[in-house]
Amino acid sequence: MFKKFFCLFIAFSIFPLVFAQTPSVRLGILKGIACTPCAYLIENKAKLAVQNMAFKVFDSEQSELPALLKGEVDLGFLAPQDAAKVFSKGKGAVIFLGVVQNGNLFLLTSDESYSSLKDLQGKKVLSAGEKPDSLIFKHLLSKKENPLGQGENPVQLDFSIPPANIANALITKKADYAILTEPYATVALKNSKEIRRVENFQKIYNESEEWSSFPAMLLVARADFVRENRELVRRVTEVYKSALSWTNQNPAKAALLSERHGLYHSSEIVRSSIPSAALVWRESNTAKSDMEKYLTILGKEIPGEDFYFNR
């Protein structure tokens, strides 16, 4: 009898400990600059307002997305066009919580004579293929004095170099112009004193009367998780906003945490990238118009109202 009682006592004593260790929410994190605030979350896991958060770092969206759809993580990060596609093709499988990074698209050059976009007439500009980078560039040029593809010497987008090698092509003078995002823009600048950051396409985009800001990365969640845990999801977004604020205010410390937790291999590059990486928080419902305009430029399907998180 005593033995049976003792076993029951041990079982009930351990149960609360096991329950306490069950993650309340599992966050998938992408390596790179966009998810830098997550390094703060990992570092301060025990102090967060949302207890028992679990984190898993992924090399790319290609590895993160299956985990999200299979329910291995509850929240994750996706590019706008990918999140919209998953929603439309996956019968509303994910919900858009907020923008975590605006566009950080830059024109860099070693050409000392460059002064404005009109100087690109007849020039080759390296870009990462028919992807958002080049599509945004084409759109902006079509609204400026140098429409792409018009006239005798149009701007020529060069897709011949793999995206990962574009910064190096600029550094080694295999190209005079390139479109780069962070952290690649910072890598190029740190490796050549001749290279300049001459255009910020987000700024040009913002100056247009009909546009505001274009998103580059979103925080999303599985729709079924949101339905069952709406208040928890809201609290997670608040925790993320705090981490974001700390990151932008403390780039050097944030960079060290990013390297420590495997989000990027060089704290020096992260520290220098943060000021121009456009790390933000914008509620999905307030970013709806910009999201739809951006997807229209990319030629993507516009998701329905259920795509946007209703707090």
Chain-centroid distance of CA 79 in Å reads 6
Strands 215-222 and 94-102: antiparallel
Q: Are 14-102+215-307 and 105-207 the same fold in CATH?
A: yes
How far apart, in Å, are the Cα atoms of 115 and each of 108, 146, 186? 12, 14, 20
Backbone angles phi, psi at 304, to 5 degrees: -80, 180
Distance in angstroms (rounded) separating the CA atoms of residues 175 and 163: 13
pLDDT for the residue numbered 102: 95
Give yes or no for a contact between 182 and 272, defined as CB atoms under 8 angstroms apart. Answer: no
Locate tokens 């190029």: which residue?
188
pLDDT in tens, the chain (311 residues): 544 544 444 444 444 433 345 779 999 999 999 999 999 999 999 999 999 999 999 999 999 999 999 999 999 999 999 999 999 998 999 999 999 999 999 999 999 999 998 899 889 999 988 789 889 988 888 776 556 556 677 888 999 999 999 999 999 999 999 999 999 999 999 999 999 999 998 888 887 756 678 999 999 999 999 999 999 999 999 999 999 999 999 999 999 999 999 999 999 999 999 999 999 999 999 999 999 999 999 999 999 999 999 87
> Within 13 Å, how many C-alpha atoms sit on residue 61's CB side?
13
Domain map (residue ranges) of the chain: 14-102+215-307, 105-207
Collapsing DSSP to helix, strand or coil, 193 comes out as coil
Q: Kindly state the helix (H) or strand (E) to which residue 82 belongs, with its residue range.
A: helix 80-89
Structure tokens at 32: 């790179």
The one-letter code for the residue type at 59 is: D
Distance in angstroms (rounded) separating the CA atoms of residues 152 and 138: 17
Record the pTM.
0.90
Backbone angles phi, psi at 29, to 5 degrees: -125, 135
Cα angle 297-308-237, degrees, rounded to a multiple of 5? 115
Distance in angstroms (rounded) separating the CA atoms of residues 155 and 39: 40
Distance in angstroms (rounded) separating the CA atoms of residues 134 and 159: 9
Backbone angles phi, psi at 174, to 5 degrees: -85, -10
Largest CA distance in the chain: 96
Distance in angstroms (rounded) separating the CA atoms of residues 306 and 101: 22
Within 10 Å of residue 193's Cβ, how many Cβ atoms?
Answer: 8
| CATH node for 14-102+215-307 | 3.40.190.10
Please state which of the four CATH numbers 3.40.50.2300, 3.20.10.10, 3.40.190.10, 3.40.220.10 is assigned to the domain occupying 105-207.
3.40.190.10
Backbone angles phi, psi at 158, to 5 degrees: -105, 115
